[in-house]
Structure 1
Amino acid sequence: MGHYFQRFVEGKNLSALFLADATTAHIVGFSRQWPSPHPGAPFRYGGAVRLRRYDRGRASQIETWLSAMTQRAGLVGLCSADFIEAENGLSLIEINPRPGATLDIFDSDATPLLREHLRAVAGASITVPAYRGSAASAIAYTNRPIRAFPPVDWPAMTADHQTSGTALGAGDPVCTVFASASSAAAAERAVRHRVRTLAINWEEDFA
Structure 2
Amino acid sequence: MADAVLIAAQAGRALAEAARRAGLRAYVADLFGDSDTLALAEAYRLLPGRFGTAPAADATLAALDDLAAQAGSPVGLILGSGFEDAPDLIARLAARHRLIGASAGTVAALKDPLAFAALCARLGVPHPAVATEPPPDPTAWLLKQVGGSGGSHIRPASRSTVPAGHYLQAHMPGRPHALNFLADGRTIHILAVTEQWCAPSPIRPFRYAGALARGTGESPSLSARIVEAVAAGTERIVAATGLRGLASADLLVDGADWWLTEVNPRPGATLDILDRRGTPLLAAHIAACLGTMPDLGAHPAGAAAAQICYADRELAPVPDLDWPDCVRDRPCPGTVVRRDAPLCTVLAEGADRAEVLALLETRTANLRAVCAAKKTHPEEAPS
Bin for the TM-score computed over the shorter chain: over 0.9
2:273 is the alignment partner of 1:105: yes
After superposition, what is the alpha-carbon deviation per residue over 1:50-108, rounded to whole angstroms, capped at 9, x for unaligned? Answer: 13334323222222111111111111111100010012411110001111111111002
| Residue number in structure 2 paired with 1:132 | 301
In 2, Cα distance between equivalents of 1:204 and 1:36: 23
1:90 maps to which of 251, 258, 266: 258
1:14 equivalenced with 2:182 (yes/no): no
1:46 and 2:203 aligned:
no
Alignment counterpart, residue 64 of structure 1, candidates 232, 236, 240: 232
Give unmatched runs, 5+ long, in structure 2: 1-162, 377-383
Hey, which of these two has a bigger chunk of helix by percent?
A: 2
Query: Take 1:31 and 1:180, find their aligned partners in 2: how far apart are those partners?
Result: 14
Q: Residue 323 of structure 2 is aligned with which of 130, 154, 164? A: 154
Structure 1 residue 117 and structure 2 residue 285: aligned?
yes
> 2:226–2:256: 8 Å Cα contact kept in structure 1?
no
Identify which range, 138-147 or 78-87, moves more after superposition.
Answer: 138-147
Which structure's CA Rg is the greater one? 2
SS at match of 1:114: helix
Displacement, 1:5?
3.4
Consecutive unaligned residues of structure 1, counting only runs of 5 or more, are none
1:104-159 CA deviation, whole Å, 9 max, x = no partner?
Answer: 11002522111100000011231234220110001111112222111110111211
Aligned length: 207
State the match for 2:197 in structure 1: 34
| Inter-partner Cα distance in structure 1 for 2:169 and 2:314 | 30
Does the CA contact (< 8 Å) of 2:278 and 2:296 recur in 1? Answer: no
Measure the CA separation in 1 of the matches of 2:237 and 2:343.
36
C-alpha separation in 2, matches of 1:154 and 1:20 = 36
Q: Is the 8 A contact 1:143 1:203 kept in 2?
A: no
* 1:6–1:201 Cα change, 3 Å: farther
Counterpart selection for 1:206 from 375, 379, 383: 375
Determine which structure has the larger strand proportion and give its number. Answer: 1
Alignment partners' CA distance in 1, 2:167 and 2:243: 26
User: What is the identity, as a one-letter code, of the residue corresponding to 2:181?
Assistant: F
Corresponding residue for residue 172 of structure 1: 341
* Post-superposition offset of 1:205: 5.7
Q: Distance in 2 between matches of 1:117 and 1:134?
A: 22
2 CA distance for matches of 1:109 and 1:164? 34
Q: Which structure ranks higher in relative contact order (CA pairs < 8 Å, sequence separation ≥ 6)?
A: 1
> Secondary structure, in 3 states, of the residue corresponding to 1:83?
strand
Please say if residues 187 and 238 of structure 2, whose CA atoms lie closer than 8 Å, have aligned partners that are also in contact.
Answer: yes
In the alignment, the residues of structure 1 paired with residue 323 and residue 306 of structure 2 have an alpha-carbon distance, to the nearest angstrom, of: 16
CA 1:139/1:55 → structure 2, altered by over 3 Å: closer, same or farther? same
Instruction: Give distance in 2, aligned partners of 1:72 and 1:46.
Output: 31
Distance in 2, matches of 1:106 and 1:144, equals 31
1:163 correspondence with 2:332 = yes
Which aligned runs of 4 or more in structure 1 are off by greater than 3 angstroms? 1-6
Deviations 1:154-175 (CA, angstroms, capped at 9, x unpaired): 1112110011111221112111
Distance change (3 Å), C-alpha of 1:109 and 1:31: closer
Give the counterpart letter for 1:156 in structure 2.
D
DSSP-derived class of the 2:304 partner: strand
Q: Match of 1:141? A: 310
Distance in structure 2 (CA, Å) of the matches to 1:4 and 1:43:
16
